[in-house]
Amino acid sequence: MKFIKNSTIFLILLFSLILTQSCTEKNEIKSISTYKVIKKDLLVTINDTGEIGSENESTVLAAFSSKIDTLIDEGKIVKKNTLVGKLSTSKEEKERDKIFLTNQESEYDRKIAVLAKYKDTYRISKELENAQIDIKIAKLKLKSKVEVRDSLAIVKAEEELNTLNKEMSIYQKEIPDREKLYKSGYMSINDLMKSKNKLTELIKQKKYLLVNLKVLKKGPLNEEIEKEKVNLKTAEQSLSKKKQEMESFIKTSNLEIDSSQAKIKKTKEKFDYYSNLIKRGSLITTDDGIVVYGKMLVGDEQVKVKAGDSVREGVSIIKIFDLKKPILKMFINEVDISKIHLEQKVKFSLDAYPENLYNGQIIKIAPVADKKFERDKNNIVVFEVIIKIIDNSPLLKPGMTANIEITTDNIRDVISVPSQVIFKENNKTYCYLKNGEKTNKQYVTTGISNEMETVIKNGLKIGDEVVTEFQEKNN
């Protein structure tokens, strides 16, 4: 019985659940939220964010891509030429030291080339001098052969001839006496023949001396002159060769020295470059003021730099602000730049103190657009706008984010609707009107708009109910 009772209860509950679901499906209808069209004033504004800055500010940039080793505390007031941070320069120092060694090697190569030039130039110069001396000697010899007789040789030959004549005269007188002694048996045939042979030899020597004396008195032979000419030409060719060798050597030596000098200059430039980078790794202020950390793009957000961060070349690491002349900086999209002008009034509040409202005035609009605006990953074209702060306050600190509102137009007594109710299709603009329990598509002509509402020029009238939202609701 207990089982039957429980089964009956279960069936009743199941039937009730099915019946309830069926009734719910039948009663489900669409609920519509609407906006009733009226005439009112439309305030057109540009709303964007900016940052508190200063008319007098300077920026300390990263001279090269590196890691920030140290940074002075933000908010500290510093003087000009103060060390406020340091970039890691270990890589640059290593490169500089490597270049220094290369430069020393180049300097040694240059000195060796210079010494070698002096040494070989001296050697070849001496060889040139010797070659020039050889030419002078050859010329003198040739001249002596052509123009001058050998007087000393002639005198010597004549003296030898006189001596020979005297000796011959003695033998010529002795031989007849020696023949008599030989015939008488007082002298041997050998002694007689020695005297005759000696006379014969003296006669031959006399003939040779007479010929030689004749030649000496006549002058040198053509063969000797030609020989001296050949010697002179050889000496001249040797001198020309030495001159060419000197010219070639000087050119080669100068090229080696110039090459070493150029290498030294190049490495010195690199050494100076890295030395300058290392020096610029010390972050030094150029003005007095308060320290504010710079910002860099991380993902889609601008975040303040800090010690330990790796930064790219040109990133703003620190800004120095003059607290006496605060300003607002903002960037306006190119589509809105025509809506603002100099001396235009603005209002702004701070993220830190949203309840306080401050007044400002546009004092500068950048004449050139910035297509590389770091904040925007889509590279949207923007213009920098500088706003003078009229309501100065001690609460305004450099680097604070400000929410800025610039009123560009105030249109009175117009029909406007929430911008989200307007749709576009095939270059036509329309919205949905509530007509009893139905909705109708209504084509409209739109005018100016702000961030919330859009002016309707044609297509709607006062009292129309424009659909703002469709909701599924159970009754």
CB atoms within 10 A of CB 88: 15
Given this model, what pLDDT does residue 60 score?
Answer: 92
CA 332 to chain centre: 34
Given this model, what pLDDT does residue 311 score?
Answer: 92
Separation CA 452–CA 189 (nearest Å): 164
Q: Coil, helix or strand for 323?
A: coil
Token readout for 354 is: 């949203």
Cβ proximity of 70 and 224 under 8 Å: no
| Domain 29-55+325-475: homologous superfamily in CATH | Efflux pump adaptor protein, beta barrel domain (2.40.30.170)
Given this model, what pLDDT does residue 446 score?
Answer: 94
Residue 414 exposure: Cα atoms within 13 Å on the Cβ side: 20
Given this model, what pLDDT does residue 406 score?
Answer: 92
Report how far apart, in Å, the C-alpha atoms of 207 and of each of 57, 116, 200, 213, 271 are.
Answer: 120, 62, 11, 10, 90
Report H helices in 66-188. Answer: 90-147, 151-184
Q: Which of 46, 50, 42, 53 is nearest to 334 (CA)?
A: 46
Provide the edge-to-edge strand list for the sheet that holds 310-311: 282-284, 83-87, 66-71, 310-311
Q: How far apart are the first and last CA of the chain?
A: 40
What is the largest distance, in Å, between two alpha-carbon atoms of the chain?
Answer: 206
Given this model, what pLDDT does residue 378 score?
Answer: 59
10-residue averages of pLDDT along the chain (475 residues): 38 38 39 87 88 88 92 91 93 91 87 84 85 85 67 82 90 87 86 88 89 73 75 86 86 86 89 91 91 84 89 91 87 89 94 92 90 55 92 84 90 91 92 90 91 91 90 51
Domain ranges of the chain: 29-55+325-475, 56-88+289-324
Q: What is the pTM of this model?
A: 0.49
Domain 56-88+289-324 belongs to what topology?
Answer: OB fold (Dihydrolipoamide Acetyltransferase, E2P) (2.40.50)
Given this model, what pLDDT does residue 24 score?
Answer: 35
Separation CA 459–CA 453 (nearest Å): 16
Given this model, what pLDDT does residue 21 score?
Answer: 40
Cβ proximity of 436 and 422 under 8 Å: no
Cβ proximity of 327 and 387 under 8 Å: yes
Cβ proximity of 142 and 225 under 8 Å: yes
CB atoms within 10 A of CB 92: 22
Report how far apart, in Å, the C-alpha atoms of 375 and of each of 115, 140, 243 are.
Answer: 62, 94, 72
Cβ proximity of 37 and 454 under 8 Å: no
Instruction: Say which DSSP state 370 is in.
Output: B
Given this model, what pLDDT does residue 195 score?
Answer: 85
374 Cβ partners below 8 Å, 6+ apart? 296, 297, 302
CB atoms within 10 A of CB 398: 22
Amino acid at the residue 260: S
